[in-house]
Chain A
Amino acid sequence: MGLTRRDWLQWTGGAAAGVMAAGGLQAAFEEHFQAATPAAAGEQTLITSCGICSPSCGIKATVKDGAIRFLEGLEGDLSGNGHLCGKGAAGAAFTYDPDRLKYPMKRTNPKKGLDEDPGWVRISWDEALDTIAAKIKDAITRYGQESLLFVTLPSPDVWMRFMNAIGVINRIDHIDECFLTDRIIQRYTTGGKTWCNDFENSKYIVLFGWDILAKAKLVYANGIVDARDNGAKIVCFNPQYSATARFADEWYPIKPGTDLAVALAMIQVLLSENLYNKEFVDAYTNFKDYETKIREHFAAYTPEWAEQESEVPADVIRRIAREFAANGPAIVPAHKKTLCANYANGSQLVHAISILNILAGTIDRPGGRYFPRSVNIPGVDNIYPPPAYPPKQGRRIDGKEKLPFVLEDGGGMFSTLTDGILNRYPGMIKFAFFNFYTALGFPNPPQMFEALKTIPFLAVMDIIPTDTANFADIVLPHVTYLEANDLVARDYKAKYPQVVVRQALIPPMFETKSIAYVGLELGKRLAPDYFKTPAGEFINLNTLLDEKTKRSGLGGSFAEFKAVGIYENKQPFTPRTTFATAGGSGKCQIYVPQFAEKGADPLPVWRPKRDLPSPEYPYYYLTFIPAVHRRNTTENNAILHEMFPTNSAIISTALAAKLGIKEGQTVRIRSRVGAIELPAHLTETIRPDAVMVAHGFGHRSKFLTKAGGLGARDGDVIPAQTIDELVKAGNFAGAACIMDAVVNIEPL
């Protein structure tokens, strides 16, 4: 080596002064390099938790020289049980996606559209935040709070405080496609906010649709495998011979959208033959208060009737109901949208399923659905109580005031949003902020693109440049979960409390930031009184996290807890004897008087799905999310893209023969709202009156170099809904009907 390390350092040190005198080229090196110690950084092992889907499996990460090298499961973690799924193992490919958003940018081309080049120019965070704050202030001053639209998750708490502090009335997230219906029904029937399924101790498991194994949430997949190992019988109703159906003891290719009929008939058998768990039902439910009404209500829902609707033989339904009663503990498990959001009769179906679990006597009992024993991590409002929030005034863009139970829930609705923007209140929205939601997540995305064009100012904060970002006036780059700090309490499998740390394995790359940072900074600019500590200083996110750690009993500081990584309190599981149902009876409610009071069905009534096959649209349309993808956010991940790059129209060989379709041939799928074209894939594993298409594909953003332009958007044939349609359908818990379409199929 001609030059020693010391020479370089001296040169570097000396050059700082030389910059001014000598000018740019001499100083270029020093602008971008600094003196550093020559010792190589060793490998580190760090604990964190996955952020791809909600169970947040524990991760053991290997990090070297500021680069994430390997992710694996964390032993002792309740969610992943020492494993990661394909998505989790590929996590670093999100952080290291060359396509990710890196800096705040503003558009210089005012024309918006998927085929327009926005002409991005880089701006500073301050300019971005100042601009957004000014746009919000202007919209509120001139048009009121109702002119703001935030399509963002409710978390984190600092972001929610910002929403509340400026009086946002229109905050929408995907809950009507996911949590909403289940959450409303559980609030009134069992008092649960979230559920765990005790698969391991269950002896009889009835699955309506939920493809647990292919859904690839490890906590559930492990659970059902353990259940099988422990001798449970598994029965599966699904129009498709799914991964879980193959694994089950029995599978019935039910007619799409008729799960409710089978559930109602099972209840009818349990009641008419007095097979329900009398001890539990008498002690912990309102059955006796409404027994006559309940028995009369279900009497007509015989297995013979259900067979007509569902094509599941009556004797099978009757036998399964009897076995369900005799071979407990029994459970009808569910995971959010798997049951609630797919069809217009989702509210009734979730209610019926809740009744089945109540009649089995397994609510919060071994082998049943139980309430998580979770660590309650205090939020910012507990730690720094805010001044009173301003009242929320104005019109609701999603129309949810017409659905009192949805209104009470607090979230907004995806499925009616575009109708609100385009038809109900055109021109009302002047400012919108989208975080982590692309138009692909909405029913009928083309309608969403039209809606986006009508909004004068759109800010998008995301990790990747989604289709929605194409329409943004400002884009903000978000950190990935591997660059973020938080505390994650277990609530998918939580017989005892457990918390796993989420820690930044590496510092945030480029100029990426968290949504909490944006909430705080916009808050300082627009509602500073809400963002101060009692000492009068602005809230500091690190101090806040330290305070949460301390108050949750996890350690003296976040730094102290992250060194340990996992907390648990293996207290014994004590089944609940009072149930926190809304209304305050302390009991589980089979008949829900509060539903009746507000015009909803107090007991589940048979209602058909929204769109039924017709001569013009003779086939059922089903969608699914592949095991290696999550929603519509992972298709550009290099590794997951390689595993499952695009979608196809999955149809039966019988239907293909009838329509003259060959494997790989392009077909057009058309519904009353739109059409998609994609290659056919023939299989024996689906009903001959249905077609199935994977969700998450059809990104059109040219900024996504892997997923962009590949595949068809499943949502293009799914009708968005109007609030009046929901009300008319008795869809009182607001199911988004994301599978409720019928279609025509033609070969091209």
Chain B
Amino acid sequence: MNAEQTAFLTFAGSAFLSPEPARLLALARELGDAEFVEILETQADGLEQDYNRLFLNPLGTPLPPWQDANQEEARLMGEAHLSALEWYRRFGVAPQRTSDPADHIGLLLLFYARLLDDAPEEAEAFRIRHIDWIPEFCSKVETQAQHPFLRTLAQRLRQVLA
């Protein structure tokens, strides 16, 4: 994966962790991504509501953004949480929010991007354990998101991970 793509993964991880439009716009400009800049400049309204609807209190089909919640036994703080913590710990880091699940899609993407940049020989094993569920998750977001930012984000992320 090239530097542009890992930068995109960082952008995506960041976006999945917090939907604040002004912040995302700054990040999109830094990324130099015209598509996201345009969406955020012209259609930012409703992004937070759609984010909350999809990821925090799912309406209709659930899209909880944690790996454990996307396994067959949908729950939080299961094996993926423990495994992710183990990965982070090997590299001397832990999530800032220690009481929340460590397998949030955003955290996993940020960490994966860091691995690709700084320890690429480890990235494959991490991908298999913690990233491979994400394309399917993105497909669901593409179908169910109402806001163009989230639809585009999911679509582009799926393509990058393909």
Contacts and interface: CB of A to CB of B under 8 A. Distances in A.
Interface of A: 1-3, 5-9, 11-12, 23-25, 28-29, 31-40, 64-68, 92-93, 95-99, 101-103, 105, 108, 117, 119-122, 465, 506-510, 638, 702-703, 705
B19 to A, nearest CB: 9
A32 B99 contact: no
B129 interface: no
Given A2-B121, A32-B107, A702-B60, A96 B96 contact: no
A36 B89 CA distance: 7
A6 B91 CA distance: 8
A38 B75 contact: no
Interface in B78-136: 78, 81-82, 85-86, 88-101, 106-107, 110-111, 113-114, 118-122
Contact of A101 (B57, B75, B99, B120): B57
A644 to B, nearest CB: 17
Contacts of B36: none
A121 B52 contact: yes
Contact of A638 (B27, B57, B75, B94): B75
Given A25-B14, A40-B89, A120 B121 contact: no
30 contacts: A1-B119, A2-B118, A3-B91, A5-B90, A8-B92, A9-B92, A9-B93, A24-B26, A28-B11, A28-B110, A29-B10, A31-B96, A32-B17, A32-B107, A33-B111, A34-B93, A34-B96, A36-B89, A36-B94, A65-B81, A92-B77, A95-B77, A97-B76, A98-B75, A102-B56, A102-B57, A105-B56, A120-B53, A508-B99, A509-B77
A37 B114 CA distance: 19
A411 B86 CA distance: 50
Q: Give chain A's interface secondary structure class.
A: loop
Given A67-B77, A67-B82, A33 B95 contact: yes
B52 to A, nearest CB: 5
A384 to B, nearest CB: 29
Contacts of A3: 91, 118-119
Interface in B9-53: 10-11, 13-14, 17, 23, 26-27, 30-31, 48-49, 52-53
Contacts of B62: 98-99, 705
Interface residues of B, number: 61
A710 to B, nearest CB: 14
B88 A36 contact: yes
A92 to B, nearest CB: 8
A180 to B, nearest CB: 34
Given A120-B52, A507-B99, A25 B110 contact: no
A648 B110 CA distance: 48
Contacts of B118: 2-3, 7-8, 11
Contacts of A98: 58, 62, 64, 66, 69, 74-76
